[in-house]
Chains A and B, each alone.
Chain A
Protein backbone atom coordinates (compact mmCIF):
# COMPACT_ATOMS: atom_id res chain seq x y z
CA UNK A 1 0.00 0.00 0.00
CA UNK A 2 2.82 2.36 0.95
CA UNK A 3 4.57 1.53 -2.30
CA UNK A 4 1.44 2.20 -4.30
CA UNK A 5 0.96 5.53 -2.57
CA UNK A 6 4.58 6.47 -3.15
CA UNK A 7 4.34 5.55 -6.83
CA UNK A 8 1.15 7.58 -7.25
CA UNK A 9 2.55 10.60 -5.47
CA UNK A 10 5.78 10.43 -7.44
CA UNK A 11 3.82 10.14 -10.67
CA UNK A 12 1.76 13.23 -9.90
CA UNK A 13 4.83 15.09 -8.70
CA UNK A 14 6.67 14.28 -11.92
CA UNK A 15 3.74 15.43 -14.05
CA UNK A 16 3.44 18.58 -11.99
CA UNK A 17 7.15 19.24 -12.33
CA UNK A 18 7.03 18.62 -16.04
CA UNK A 19 4.09 20.98 -16.46
CA UNK A 20 5.59 23.78 -14.40
CA UNK A 21 9.36 23.59 -14.68
CA UNK A 22 9.66 21.76 -17.97
CA UNK A 23 9.23 24.77 -20.20
CA UNK A 24 11.61 26.87 -18.09
CA UNK A 25 14.52 24.50 -18.53
CA UNK A 26 13.98 23.95 -22.23
CA UNK A 27 17.02 24.33 -24.45
CA UNK A 28 16.35 25.32 -28.06
CA UNK A 29 12.76 24.21 -27.60
CA UNK A 30 13.73 20.79 -26.31
CA UNK A 31 12.33 19.88 -22.91
CA UNK A 32 13.48 16.91 -20.85
CA UNK A 33 10.91 14.12 -20.90
CA UNK A 34 10.56 13.68 -17.16
CA UNK A 35 7.58 11.36 -17.35
CA UNK A 36 9.41 8.90 -19.58
CA UNK A 37 12.40 9.14 -17.28
CA UNK A 38 10.18 8.28 -14.33
CA UNK A 39 8.76 5.27 -16.19
CA UNK A 40 12.29 4.09 -16.95
CA UNK A 41 13.26 4.40 -13.30
CA UNK A 42 10.07 2.62 -12.22
CA UNK A 43 10.79 -0.27 -14.58
CA UNK A 44 14.48 -0.39 -13.82
CA UNK A 45 14.08 -0.40 -10.06
CA UNK A 46 10.70 -2.08 -9.68
CA UNK A 47 10.68 -4.61 -12.47
CA UNK A 48 8.56 -5.16 -15.52
CA UNK A 49 5.21 -5.20 -13.75
CA UNK A 50 5.74 -1.88 -12.03
CA UNK A 51 7.23 -0.41 -15.18
CA UNK A 52 4.14 -1.36 -17.18
CA UNK A 53 1.70 -0.08 -14.57
CA UNK A 54 3.51 3.20 -14.06
CA UNK A 55 3.85 3.62 -17.83
CA UNK A 56 0.15 2.96 -18.30
CA UNK A 57 -0.78 5.41 -15.54
CA UNK A 58 1.51 8.16 -16.79
CA UNK A 59 0.42 7.60 -20.38
CA UNK A 60 -3.26 7.77 -19.50
CA UNK A 61 -2.77 10.88 -17.42
CA UNK A 62 -0.95 12.54 -20.28
CA UNK A 63 -3.66 11.33 -22.62
CA UNK A 64 -6.27 13.12 -20.51
CA UNK A 65 -4.80 16.38 -21.68
CA UNK A 66 -4.57 15.26 -25.30
CA UNK A 67 -7.66 13.11 -25.82
CA UNK A 68 -7.08 12.73 -29.54
CA UNK A 69 -4.38 10.17 -28.80
CA UNK A 70 -5.61 8.84 -25.49
CA UNK A 71 -4.30 5.29 -25.24
CA UNK A 72 -1.33 5.70 -27.54
CA UNK A 73 0.91 7.25 -24.94
CA UNK A 74 -0.27 4.72 -22.35
CA UNK A 75 0.59 1.85 -24.66
CA UNK A 76 4.00 3.26 -25.58
CA UNK A 77 4.99 4.13 -22.04
CA UNK A 78 3.80 0.75 -20.79
CA UNK A 79 6.11 -0.79 -23.38
CA UNK A 80 8.91 1.51 -22.24
CA UNK A 81 8.37 0.44 -18.63
CA UNK A 82 8.32 -3.20 -19.68
CA UNK A 83 11.54 -2.82 -21.64
CA UNK A 84 13.24 -0.98 -18.79
CA UNK A 85 12.10 -3.66 -16.36
CA UNK A 86 13.36 -6.37 -18.70
CA UNK A 87 16.89 -5.04 -18.62
CA UNK A 88 16.90 -4.77 -14.86
CA UNK A 89 18.05 -8.33 -14.25
CA UNK A 90 21.13 -8.17 -16.42
CA UNK A 91 22.69 -4.83 -15.48
CA UNK A 92 24.11 -2.99 -12.53
CA UNK A 93 21.21 -0.69 -11.79
CA UNK A 94 23.09 1.44 -9.32
CA UNK A 95 25.43 2.66 -12.03
CA UNK A 96 24.25 6.12 -13.19
CA UNK A 97 25.02 5.35 -16.82
CA UNK A 98 22.46 2.56 -16.92
CA UNK A 99 19.35 4.73 -16.53
CA UNK A 100 20.93 7.37 -18.74
CA UNK A 101 21.54 4.90 -21.56
CA UNK A 102 18.11 3.37 -21.14
CA UNK A 103 16.41 6.76 -21.21
CA UNK A 104 18.30 7.75 -24.33
CA UNK A 105 17.48 4.60 -26.25
CA UNK A 106 13.92 4.12 -25.07
CA UNK A 107 13.02 7.78 -25.68
CA UNK A 108 14.30 7.51 -29.24
CA UNK A 109 12.34 4.32 -29.80
CA UNK A 110 9.23 5.80 -28.17
CA UNK A 111 9.36 8.94 -30.28
CA UNK A 112 9.96 7.05 -33.48
CA UNK A 113 6.96 4.76 -32.99
CA UNK A 114 4.79 7.62 -31.86
CA UNK A 115 5.84 9.70 -34.85
CA UNK A 116 5.00 6.87 -37.22
CA UNK A 117 1.55 6.39 -35.67
CA UNK A 118 0.69 10.09 -35.45
CA UNK A 119 1.79 10.83 -39.01
CA UNK A 120 -0.21 7.87 -40.25
CA UNK A 121 2.84 5.93 -41.34
CA UNK A 122 4.52 8.78 -43.22
CA UNK A 123 8.06 7.56 -42.69
CA UNK A 124 9.72 10.67 -44.07
CA UNK A 125 7.82 13.03 -41.81
CA UNK A 126 8.28 10.79 -38.80
CA UNK A 127 12.04 10.53 -39.31
CA UNK A 128 12.38 14.23 -39.99
CA UNK A 129 10.62 15.10 -36.76
CA UNK A 130 12.52 12.43 -34.90
CA UNK A 131 15.87 13.72 -36.11
CA UNK A 132 14.99 17.33 -35.35
CA UNK A 133 13.61 16.95 -31.86
CA UNK A 134 13.99 13.48 -30.44
CA UNK A 135 17.77 13.17 -30.57
CA UNK A 136 18.30 16.37 -28.64
CA UNK A 137 15.50 15.63 -26.19
CA UNK A 138 16.82 12.14 -25.56
CA UNK A 139 20.33 13.44 -24.97
CA UNK A 140 19.10 16.24 -22.71
CA UNK A 141 16.91 13.88 -20.68
CA UNK A 142 19.62 11.27 -20.39
CA UNK A 143 22.11 13.81 -19.10
CA UNK A 144 19.84 15.86 -16.88
CA UNK A 145 17.67 13.37 -15.04
CA UNK A 146 20.32 10.93 -13.72
CA UNK A 147 22.43 13.92 -12.67
CA UNK A 148 19.47 15.48 -10.87
CA UNK A 149 18.63 12.17 -9.21
CA UNK A 150 22.23 11.83 -8.03
CA UNK A 151 21.91 15.23 -6.36
CA UNK A 152 18.76 14.22 -4.49
CA UNK A 153 19.07 13.29 -0.82
CA UNK A 154 19.41 9.56 -0.40
CA UNK A 155 15.89 9.09 0.99
CA UNK A 156 14.31 10.91 -1.91
CA UNK A 157 15.95 8.89 -4.68
CA UNK A 158 13.95 6.29 -6.60
CA UNK A 159 14.26 2.95 -4.83
CA UNK A 160 13.83 -0.58 -6.03
CA UNK A 161 11.97 -3.39 -4.36
CA UNK A 162 13.31 -4.33 -0.95
CA UNK A 163 16.16 -6.78 -1.32
CA UNK A 164 16.34 -6.49 -5.07
CA UNK A 165 18.06 -3.22 -5.82
Chain B
Protein backbone atom coordinates (compact mmCIF):
# COMPACT_ATOMS: atom_id res chain seq x y z
CA UNK B 1 0.00 0.00 0.00
CA UNK B 2 1.42 3.36 -1.01
CA UNK B 3 1.00 6.11 1.53
CA UNK B 4 0.29 9.44 -0.08
CA UNK B 5 2.64 12.11 1.18
CA UNK B 6 1.15 15.39 2.26
CA UNK B 7 1.72 18.17 -0.24
CA UNK B 8 4.46 20.49 0.88
CA UNK B 9 3.43 24.10 1.13
CA UNK B 10 4.93 26.47 -1.40
CA UNK B 11 6.28 28.71 1.31
CA UNK B 12 7.95 27.52 4.46
CA UNK B 13 7.34 29.14 7.83
CA UNK B 14 9.99 31.74 7.21
CA UNK B 15 8.59 32.37 3.76
CA UNK B 16 5.14 33.05 5.19
CA UNK B 17 6.64 35.43 7.70
CA UNK B 18 8.59 37.18 4.95
CA UNK B 19 5.44 37.48 2.81
CA UNK B 20 3.51 38.92 5.75
CA UNK B 21 6.33 41.34 6.45
CA UNK B 22 6.39 42.35 2.78
CA UNK B 23 2.65 43.06 2.74
CA UNK B 24 2.88 45.14 5.89
CA UNK B 25 5.96 46.97 4.68
CA UNK B 26 4.17 47.92 1.46
CA UNK B 27 1.40 49.46 3.55
CA UNK B 28 3.82 51.22 5.88
CA UNK B 29 6.02 52.55 3.10
CA UNK B 30 3.12 53.53 0.87
CA UNK B 31 2.15 56.72 2.63
CA UNK B 32 -0.89 57.74 4.58
CA UNK B 33 -3.15 58.06 1.52
CA UNK B 34 -2.48 54.46 0.52
CA UNK B 35 -3.09 53.23 4.06
CA UNK B 36 -6.36 55.13 4.35
CA UNK B 37 -7.58 53.81 0.97
CA UNK B 38 -6.51 50.28 1.82
CA UNK B 39 -8.19 50.45 5.23
CA UNK B 40 -11.41 51.64 3.60
CA UNK B 41 -11.26 48.80 1.07
CA UNK B 42 -10.61 46.25 3.80
CA UNK B 43 -13.44 47.59 5.91
CA UNK B 44 -15.82 47.42 2.98
CA UNK B 45 -14.86 43.85 2.09
CA UNK B 46 -13.91 42.08 5.31
CA UNK B 47 -16.58 43.65 7.50
CA UNK B 48 -19.30 43.51 4.86
CA UNK B 49 -20.92 40.23 6.00
CA UNK B 50 -21.14 41.48 9.56
CA UNK B 51 -22.51 44.84 8.49
CA UNK B 52 -25.16 43.12 6.43
CA UNK B 53 -26.07 40.67 9.16
CA UNK B 54 -26.26 43.32 11.84
CA UNK B 55 -27.99 45.78 9.52
CA UNK B 56 -25.10 48.08 10.20
CA UNK B 57 -24.75 48.93 6.56
CA UNK B 58 -28.07 50.69 6.26
CA UNK B 59 -29.77 51.71 9.47
CA UNK B 60 -27.19 53.25 11.80
CA UNK B 61 -26.00 55.84 9.26
CA UNK B 62 -29.62 56.95 8.87
CA UNK B 63 -30.09 56.90 12.61
CA UNK B 64 -26.91 58.84 13.09
CA UNK B 65 -28.02 61.38 10.53
CA UNK B 66 -31.42 61.66 12.11
CA UNK B 67 -29.91 61.99 15.57
CA UNK B 68 -27.63 64.69 14.24
CA UNK B 69 -30.56 66.59 12.75
CA UNK B 70 -32.58 66.20 15.93
CA UNK B 71 -29.68 67.42 18.05
CA UNK B 72 -29.35 70.43 15.79
CA UNK B 73 -33.07 71.11 15.98
CA UNK B 74 -33.01 70.72 19.75
CA UNK B 75 -30.09 73.10 20.07
CA UNK B 76 -31.91 75.57 17.86
CA UNK B 77 -35.10 75.26 19.93
CA UNK B 78 -33.11 75.70 23.11
CA UNK B 79 -31.69 78.91 21.75
CA UNK B 80 -35.17 80.07 20.78
CA UNK B 81 -36.43 79.19 24.25
CA UNK B 82 -33.66 81.25 25.79
CA UNK B 83 -34.54 84.15 23.49
CA UNK B 84 -38.24 83.79 24.35
CA UNK B 85 -37.48 83.70 28.03
CA UNK B 86 -35.36 86.81 27.69
CA UNK B 87 -38.09 88.52 25.67
CA UNK B 88 -40.67 87.56 28.29
CA UNK B 89 -38.57 89.12 31.05
CA UNK B 90 -37.97 92.21 28.94
CA UNK B 91 -41.69 92.42 28.19
CA UNK B 92 -42.48 92.17 31.86
CA UNK B 93 -40.02 94.95 32.66
CA UNK B 94 -41.50 97.18 29.99
CA UNK B 95 -45.03 96.46 31.15
CA UNK B 96 -43.97 97.32 34.67
CA UNK B 97 -42.43 100.56 33.42
CA UNK B 98 -45.60 101.70 31.66
CA UNK B 99 -47.73 100.36 34.49
CA UNK B 100 -49.79 97.94 32.41
CA UNK B 101 -51.92 95.44 34.17
CA UNK B 102 -50.11 92.18 34.79
CA UNK B 103 -50.69 89.61 32.06
CA UNK B 104 -52.85 86.83 33.32
CA UNK B 105 -51.50 83.33 33.49
CA UNK B 106 -54.11 80.76 32.63
CA UNK B 107 -54.44 77.05 32.98
CA UNK B 108 -55.80 74.47 30.56
CA UNK B 109 -58.45 72.04 31.72
CA UNK B 110 -58.65 68.87 29.63
CA UNK B 111 -62.07 67.89 28.36
CA UNK B 112 -63.25 64.99 26.23
CA UNK B 113 -65.65 65.33 23.33
CA UNK B 114 -68.65 63.11 24.13
CA UNK B 115 -71.12 64.43 21.61
CA UNK B 116 -71.53 66.36 18.43
CA UNK B 117 -74.71 68.17 17.54
CA UNK B 118 -74.78 69.64 14.09
CA UNK B 119 -77.78 71.76 13.27
CA UNK B 120 -78.67 74.10 10.46
CA UNK B 121 -76.91 77.00 12.13
CA UNK B 122 -73.69 75.23 12.62
CA UNK B 123 -72.02 72.83 14.94
CA UNK B 124 -72.04 72.36 18.66
CA UNK B 125 -69.84 69.98 20.63
CA UNK B 126 -70.65 68.44 23.98
CA UNK B 127 -67.68 68.06 26.29
CA UNK B 128 -67.26 66.09 29.47
CA UNK B 129 -65.58 68.41 31.93
CA UNK B 130 -63.27 67.41 34.80
CA UNK B 131 -64.90 66.83 38.14
CA UNK B 132 -64.79 69.94 40.27
CA UNK B 133 -63.84 72.22 37.40
CA UNK B 134 -65.65 75.50 37.17
CA UNK B 135 -66.89 76.04 33.65
CA UNK B 136 -68.64 79.23 32.63
CA UNK B 137 -70.40 80.40 29.54
CA UNK B 138 -68.06 82.14 27.11
CA UNK B 139 -65.02 80.20 28.23
CA UNK B 140 -62.60 79.67 25.31
CA UNK B 141 -61.97 76.13 24.10
CA UNK B 142 -58.70 75.17 22.45
CA UNK B 143 -57.37 72.24 20.48
CA UNK B 144 -53.72 71.35 20.09
CA UNK B 145 -53.33 73.65 17.08
CA UNK B 146 -55.36 76.59 18.26
CA UNK B 147 -58.84 77.97 18.88
CA UNK B 148 -61.87 75.67 18.60
CA UNK B 149 -64.70 77.78 19.96
CA UNK B 150 -66.28 78.81 23.24
CA UNK B 151 -68.63 77.38 25.84
CA UNK B 152 -72.22 78.42 25.34
CA UNK B 153 -73.84 76.44 28.12
CA UNK B 154 -72.27 74.83 31.16
CA UNK B 155 -73.88 72.10 33.20
CA UNK B 156 -72.82 69.57 35.81
CA UNK B 157 -69.99 67.50 34.37
CA UNK B 158 -70.54 68.64 30.81
CA UNK B 159 -70.81 71.70 28.64
CA UNK B 160 -71.83 72.73 25.15
CA UNK B 161 -69.28 74.37 22.91
CA UNK B 162 -70.00 76.50 19.88
CA UNK B 163 -67.21 75.82 17.43
CA UNK B 164 -65.68 78.02 14.76
CA UNK B 165 -67.84 76.13 12.25
CA UNK B 166 -70.90 77.72 13.81
CA UNK B 167 -71.96 80.84 11.94
CA UNK B 168 -73.39 82.28 15.13
CA UNK B 169 -69.91 82.58 16.64
CA UNK B 170 -67.98 85.79 16.05
CA UNK B 171 -64.34 86.06 17.00
CA UNK B 172 -62.29 89.20 16.92
CA UNK B 173 -59.13 88.30 14.98
CA UNK B 174 -56.00 89.92 13.68
CA UNK B 175 -53.13 89.18 11.34
CA UNK B 176 -50.10 88.06 13.31
CA UNK B 177 -47.48 90.12 11.43
CA UNK B 178 -49.24 93.20 10.05
CA UNK B 179 -51.50 93.42 13.16
CA UNK B 180 -54.52 94.43 11.07
CA UNK B 181 -57.72 93.26 12.73
CA UNK B 182 -61.20 92.25 11.68
CA UNK B 183 -64.06 90.00 12.67
CA UNK B 184 -63.95 86.26 12.06
CA UNK B 185 -67.00 84.20 11.25
CA UNK B 186 -67.79 80.95 9.56
CA UNK B 187 -69.02 81.09 5.98
CA UNK B 188 -70.90 77.84 5.48
CA UNK B 189 -71.00 77.96 1.70
CA UNK B 190 -67.25 78.39 1.35
CA UNK B 191 -66.38 76.03 4.18
CA UNK B 192 -63.83 78.46 5.61
CA UNK B 193 -63.61 81.25 8.13
CA UNK B 194 -63.68 84.78 6.85
CA UNK B 195 -61.89 87.68 8.48
CA UNK B 196 -64.07 90.63 7.54
CA UNK B 197 -63.54 94.35 7.75
CA UNK B 198 -59.78 94.24 7.27
CA UNK B 199 -58.26 97.44 5.84
CA UNK B 200 -57.48 97.45 2.15
CA UNK B 201 -53.75 97.56 2.83
CA UNK B 202 -53.86 93.96 4.09
CA UNK B 203 -51.79 91.57 1.98
CA UNK B 204 -52.14 87.82 2.20
CA UNK B 205 -48.68 86.42 2.76
CA UNK B 206 -47.53 82.98 3.81
CA UNK B 207 -45.84 84.35 6.90
CA UNK B 208 -49.13 85.68 8.26
CA UNK B 209 -51.39 83.78 10.59
CA UNK B 210 -54.70 84.78 12.01
CA UNK B 211 -54.79 85.03 15.79
CA UNK B 212 -57.31 86.31 18.28
CA UNK B 213 -56.98 90.04 18.85
CA UNK B 214 -58.25 90.10 22.41
CA UNK B 215 -60.80 92.77 21.51
CA UNK B 216 -64.15 92.17 23.16
CA UNK B 217 -62.44 90.37 26.05
CA UNK B 218 -64.01 87.02 25.28
CA UNK B 219 -60.93 85.37 23.80
CA UNK B 220 -57.50 86.29 25.12
CA UNK B 221 -55.09 87.89 22.68
CA UNK B 222 -52.76 85.72 20.60
CA UNK B 223 -54.54 82.38 20.32
CA UNK B 224 -53.78 80.92 16.86
CA UNK B 225 -56.89 80.48 14.74
CA UNK B 226 -55.83 79.56 11.24
CA UNK B 227 -53.73 80.19 8.17
CA UNK B 228 -54.60 82.44 5.27
CA UNK B 229 -56.12 80.74 2.24
CA UNK B 230 -56.71 83.82 0.11
CA UNK B 231 -57.67 87.49 0.27
CA UNK B 232 -59.94 89.68 -1.80
CA UNK B 233 -61.87 92.95 -1.65
CA UNK B 234 -65.31 92.62 -0.12
CA UNK B 235 -68.56 93.46 -1.91
CA UNK B 236 -68.43 97.12 -0.89
CA UNK B 237 -64.87 97.58 -2.09
CA UNK B 238 -64.12 99.45 1.13
CA UNK B 239 -62.36 96.62 2.93
CA UNK B 240 -60.65 93.31 2.41
CA UNK B 241 -61.93 89.92 3.43
CA UNK B 242 -59.50 87.15 4.13
CA UNK B 243 -60.39 83.49 3.90
CA UNK B 244 -58.90 81.51 6.77
CA UNK B 245 -58.39 77.77 7.20
CA UNK B 246 -58.61 76.79 10.90
CA UNK B 247 -55.53 75.11 12.37
CA UNK B 248 -57.66 72.60 14.23
CA UNK B 249 -59.45 69.95 12.21
CA UNK B 250 -62.84 70.53 13.76
CA UNK B 251 -64.35 67.39 12.31
CA UNK B 252 -61.90 65.12 14.07
CA UNK B 253 -61.36 66.66 17.49
CA UNK B 254 -61.60 64.26 20.42
CA UNK B 255 -59.72 65.90 23.27
CA UNK B 256 -59.94 69.62 23.88
CA UNK B 257 -58.89 72.11 26.54
CA UNK B 258 -60.90 74.69 28.34
CA UNK B 259 -58.91 77.82 28.93
CA UNK B 260 -59.22 78.30 32.65
CA UNK B 261 -59.12 81.58 34.54
Contact = CB atoms under 8 A, between A and B. Distances in A.
Interface of A: 12, 47-49, 52-53, 55-56, 59-61, 63-65, 67-72, 74-75, 78-79, 82, 85
B102 interface: no
Contact of A82 (B13, B24, B26, B50): B13
B111 to A, nearest CB: 51
Contacts of B39: 63-65, 67, 70
Contacts of B40: 67
A37 B240 CA distance: 83
B38 A70 contact: yes
Interface stretch (B15-23, B120-128, B186-194, B218-226): B15-23
Contacts of A78: 17, 20-21, 24
Nearest to A73: B24
Contacts of B35: 63, 67-71
A67 B16 contact: no
Interface residues of B, number: 23
Contact of A49 (B13, B24, B38, B50): B13
A71 B24 CA distance: 4
Q: What is the predominant secondary structure among interface residues of chain A facing chain B? A: helix
Interface of B: 9, 13, 16-17, 20-21, 23-28, 32, 35-36, 38-40, 42-43, 46-47, 50
The interface residues of chain B, by DSSP majority, are classed as helix
Contacts of B13: 47-49, 52, 82, 85
Contacts of B16: 48-49, 52-53
A71 to B, nearest CB: 3
A67 B36 contact: yes
Contacts of B36: 67
What 6 A-B pairs are tightest by C-beta distance, nearest first? A71-B27, A67-B39, A75-B24, A48-B13, A71-B24, A78-B20
